[in-house]
Amino acid sequence: MISEDVSRTVLELPVEDRLELARRLVESVVWPAALNEAVAEGIRRIEDVATGRIQAMTEDQFRAALR
């Protein structure tokens, strides 16, 4: 279990550092190759939104897209 201190410290890091840490953690898990590609694409998309390269949907836009 992750200690509260570790969690608090990590969450206080700048967004770029948290994204890098998240990428490293995901990459440290052994996945089948096809899933690796899907996870890598998911990470790229999260980084695009988190860094402002693309604009995220609002909740209403997301719900409308599901219809």
Question: pLDDT 10s digit of each residue in the chain, 67 long?
Answer: 688 899 999 999 999 999 899 888 887 876 667 777 888 888 889 889 888 999 888 889 989 999 8
Is residue 56, in this structure, part of any structural domain at all? yes
What pLDDT was estimated at residue 17?
93
The number of domains in the chain is 1
Two tokens at 8? 């608090």
Is residue 1, in this structure, part of any structural domain at all? no
Model pTM score: 0.47
Is residue 6, in this structure, part of any structural domain at all? no
What pLDDT was estimated at residue 30?
65
Domain extent at residue 61: 14-66
Is residue 49, in this structure, part of any structural domain at all? yes
